[in-house]
Each structure stands twice: as C-alpha cells, then as structure tokens.
Amino acid sequence: MEALKNRIKQDGVVLGSQVLKVDSFLNHRVDPALMSAIGDTFADLFAEDRITRVLTIESSGIAPAVFAALRLEVDLIFARKRKSLTLRDDLYTEKAYSFTKQEENEITVSKHFLGADDRILIIDDFLANGQAALALARIVEQAGAQVAGIGIVIEKSFQNGRQVLQDAGYRVESLARVASLDGNEIRFVEVEAEVKAEVE
Amino acid sequence: MEALKNRIKQDGVVLGSQVLKVDSFLNHRVDPALMSAIGDTFADLFAEDRITRVLTIESSGIAPAVFAALRLEVDLIFARKRKSLTLRDDLYTEKAYSFTKQEENEITVSKHFLGADDRILIIDDFLANGQAALALARIVEQAGAQVAGIGIVIEKSFQNGRQVLQDAGYRVESLARVASLDGNEIRFVEVEAEVKAEVE
C-alpha cells in the first residue's frame, strides 16, 4: 500500500536495527484518514472470503480494524490483554509472549462473541514474531471458527512472524513489509504479493 | 442519540444497580456502523469549536473517537494507561483512580503530540466518576492547550462525573444519559440538552 509506505518513510522513526516507531500516525497519535484507507484495503483483500467478524487486540489494532469491519459490514471484536487472569469459564484465553516488551500476556475473548460458524479476519498493527497473531488464531480455533486470514499493517519481514503464521497454515496479507532498518534506513521488501499490487 | 439509546435498551446488560455492561457493541465486540454514527454526532456537536485534535484513552474510547476525528478532519491521540511508570521527560502523566476496577492508573501522552495552540475534544466511552476524563483534561492543560469539550458515549448520571467535570469548567456532551439501573431496568435522563435534540 503506497500511501502507507510513504507515510512510514516520512514519519517512521528508526531506533536501532530492530525497532520502528510509528507513534505519530498509528500507535499513539492516529491519522484517521489513513486508518480508513487501510481498512478499505483490508476489506478489498478479503472481499471474497465471507468474513463474519474482524478480530484484533487492544489497543493499536483497534483503529485500522474498525474501518475494515465497517467496510466488510461485520462486527469487530477486540481481544483484551492482561498480565495475569483468574481463569473464567466464559472466556477463551491464550498466552502470548511479547519479545518487544519482554513480558507474557494473557489474551482473552468472551465465548459469547465467537461461534463455530464464524469466519474471522484477524488484524494487527505489527507483525514481528507472530506470537500475538498466533494467540488470536488459536482463540478462533478454540471456538471452532475458521481463520480466513491475517491482515497486518506493518510487517517486520526481517523477523520470523510471517514464516510462523504461514507454517501454521494461515494466509498473511501485510500492507507494508519492512525488509531492513539497518543503517537507520527503512527499506521495504521489493516484490509484494500481486494481489496487493492490483488493489493499489 | 436515539439509535444509541435503543441499542443500550436492547443489548445492555444490567448487573446490580451500578454496572451496565455494553460489551456486545462498545467495549469488546464493537458495532462499527454505530461507532461511525456516534463519531458523526460528536463531530456535529463540536463542529463550531475549531477542534485541532481528539483525545481519548485506550482501549474502549478508540473506536468512537477515531470516527469523530475522521469527521472533524483532525488526528486522534489515544492516551496510554499503565499501572506504574518510570517518570519520563517526554511524557505528560496524570494519575486516575478507577472506582470500577479499584486501581490507580497512570495516564500518559507524549509531549510531542500536544501543543499550546491545540483545542482538544476529549472523548470517552463511559462517564461515571469522571476521574479518567479529568486526568485527560489535566494533561491537556499541562500542555498549555485548551479543552474545547468532553464527549461521552454513555453517562451514568446517577454518579457524580458530570458534576465533577462541569465544576472544573468543562462542557460535557453525553450521547446517552442513564438515570438509573434500579430494578434491573435501564432508565434514561428525560430532558436532554437541547443541542443534542437538534442534532438527532
């Protein structure tokens, strides 16, 4: 998605070779027009997939995901992230380790809101090691529902998240794929999936 | 806002006389079309107020606030909520005690994203004791910016939050004002502000 890549080039802040800060338009300050365009792009990519729900995780996934849900005319569910949790019968729960924050979170979704007939589009702001998306996918499968695909705003392609998710059998669509942050420069993966090229 | 009140009547779950659960369309599962209509209503209410930023707090405020920001053609900032925090020079920080969760949170906004020229619309999903909105307002004032008003999706009018915010000098616009949850019944405040009546 060209508008997104241009924005990352313009406003992304590189911290070392691993960290890309985009808190001026995605993670803290949010550009709603860009989020709307991102939502439209996800909706186009998954238009034929009979999505019944969009699932994301608080907090940074919510803004792009709510626009995708609006365009797909389905509800959004945002999973909750907690440090520790009393087990509760009415919640699906999965653990996800965040390498960035070096902490384990429990991710929860109410059992009321996912059913065996659902076809779920998972959306997240970042893909690094894939642990958060994988935890969401496991929750979908706990519910007996289907993961129709995983939509990522920014993929750090120099980490193994895409491989992890593809090895688990999931379709991954990332709107911007960062190949490297070396030398304080943001470089994108050159050849993107043809589907995305058509959409843009 | 009639559509919101009807939805609360239909899908809100009353737990005792104090708690109204709306996690089927606002707090966990989110109806994006309703969020869009809520955003439009806030944008209409504050159309003449030269808003330069919308400010909310993660996570449940983000969905309604991002649509308000889209319609007002300004950026959204979502404040971060943390249990405890190392003081950092680049963050505005305020404490807010949550009576619902019985815990104190630190609420933070990056100093980069608020300036003395800003006119801020604060949006939150619930108004109960007003502590979260007040903490956001104090952050705006730390930045030397102006609070143009506070937009609330659901006000629990049997708690003192509106009074607290009005006493502090702020304009409060709530789209649904719940007068009472007694007897397992949701009753709304009968006379709403004339501005809202005109918008609807």
Going by their DSSP bridges, the two strands B75-82 and A29-30 should be labelled as: antiparallel
Mean pLDDT within B102-118: 94
8 Å CB contact of A36 and B70: yes
**Residue whose pair of structure tokens reads 């990522």 in the numeric block:** A152
CA distance B163 to B130: 9
In the predicted model, what is the mean pLDDT of chain A?
93
Q: Tell me if A129 is assigned to a ligand binding site.
A: yes
* pLDDT score, position B47: 98
Interface test with B, best of A26, A29, A84 (most B CBs within 10 A): A29
Interface test with B, best of A27, A34, A56, A67 (most B CBs within 10 A): A67
Report the b/e string of A22-61 with b at 16+ CB within 10 A: bbbbbbbbbbbebbbbbbbbbbbbbeeeebbbbbbbbbbb
ipTM given for this complex: 0.93
Going by their DSSP bridges, the two strands B75-82 and B103-110 should be labelled as: antiparallel
8 Å CB contact of A28 and B63: no
Q: Tell me if B130 is assigned to a ligand binding site.
A: yes
CA distance B85 to B88: 8
Sequence spans of domains, chain A = 2-78+116-128+141-190
8 Å CB contact of B113 and A33: no
pLDDT tens digits for range A1-15: 999 999 999 999 999
Give, as one character, the DSSP assignment of residue B182.
Answer: G
Q: Which residues contact A38 (CB under 8 A, 6 or more apart)?
A: A1, A4, A64, A67, A68, A153, A175
CA distance A70 to A83: 30
pLDDT tens digits for range A27-71: 999 999 999 999 999 999 999 999 999 999 999 999 999 999 999
**C-alpha closest to that of B92 among B104, B81, B108:** B108
pLDDT tens digits for range A61-85: 999 999 999 999 999 999 999 866 6
From A64's Cα to the closest Cα of chain B, the distance in A is 10
* pLDDT score, position A194: 47
- Estimate the crossing angle of helix A32-45 against helix A62-72, to 10 degrees: 50
From A118's Cα to the closest Cα of chain B, the distance in A is 14
A118 burial level (CB within 10 Å; 0-12, 13-18, 19+): buried
Residue B14: how many CB atoms within 10 A of its CB? 17
pLDDT tens digits for range B49-83: 999 999 999 999 999 999 999 999 999 999 999 86
Q: Does B29 touch chain A (CB under 8 A)?
A: yes
pLDDT tens digits for range A76-128: 999 999 866 666 789 999 999 887 778 888 999 999 999 999 999 999 999 99
Please, what CATH class does the domain formed by A2-78+116-128+141-190 belong to? alpha beta
Q: Which chain A residues are Cβ-neighbours of B69 within 8 angstroms?
A: 30, 32
* pLDDT score, position B76: 98
Q: Which of residues 121-140 of B touch A (CB under 8 A)?
A: none
8 Å CB contact of B69 and A30: yes
Percent of chain B with pLDDT over 70: 92
Q: Tell me if B27 is assigned to a ligand binding site.
A: yes
**C-alpha closest to that of B133 among B164, B112, B110, B157:** B164
**C-alpha closest to that of A60 among A110, A18, A101:** A101
CA distance B112 to A84: 32
Q: Does B111 touch chain A (CB under 8 A)?
A: no
Report the b/e string of A84-100 with b at 16+ CB within 10 A: eeeeeeebbbbebeeee
Q: Does A78 touch chain B (CB under 8 A)?
A: yes
From B173's Cα to the closest Cα of chain A, the distance in A is 22
CA distance A168 to A135: 12
In the predicted model, what is the mean pLDDT of chain B?
93
Smallest Cβ distance to B30: which of A36, A59, A66?
Answer: A66
pLDDT tens digits for range B15-58: 999 999 999 999 999 999 999 999 999 999 999 999 999 999 99
- Is residue A111 within 8 A of residue A143, CB to CB? The reply is yes
B37 burial level (CB within 10 Å; 0-12, 13-18, 19+): middle
State yes or no: pLDDT of B176 exceeds 70: yes
B99: phi > 0 → left, psi -120 to 50 → alpha, else beta; which?
alpha
From A148's Cα to the closest Cα of chain B, the distance in A is 18
Largest CA distance in chain A: 49
B89 — pLDDT class (breaks 50, 70, 90): confident
Q: Which chain A residues are Cβ-neighbours of B85 within 8 angstroms?
A: none
8 Å CB contact of A30 and B77: yes
B195: phi > 0 → left, psi -120 to 50 → alpha, else beta; which?
alpha
Q: Tell me if A20 is assigned to a ligand binding site.
A: yes
From A40's Cα to the closest Cα of chain B, the distance in A is 13
What SS3 state is found at A90? coil
Most confident of A18-27, A77-86, B189-198: A18-27
- Is residue B137 within 8 A of residue B109, CB to CB? The reply is no
B40 burial level (CB within 10 Å; 0-12, 13-18, 19+): middle
**C-alpha closest to that of B200 among B11, B25, B38:** B38
Decide if domain B2-199 falls under CATH 2.20.25.650: no
Q: Which residues contact B165 (CB under 8 A, 6 or more apart)?
A: B127, B130, B133, B134, B137, B150, B172
B98 — pLDDT class (breaks 50, 70, 90): confident
Q: Which chain A residues are Cβ-neighbours of B23 within 8 angstroms?
A: 110
* pLDDT score, position B196: 53
State yes or no: pLDDT of A176 exceeds 90: yes
B199 — pLDDT class (breaks 50, 70, 90): low
Smallest Cβ distance to B113: which of A29, A63, A113?
Answer: A29
Q: Does B37 touch chain A (CB under 8 A)?
A: no
CA distance B114 to B143: 6
Mean pLDDT within A140-157: 98
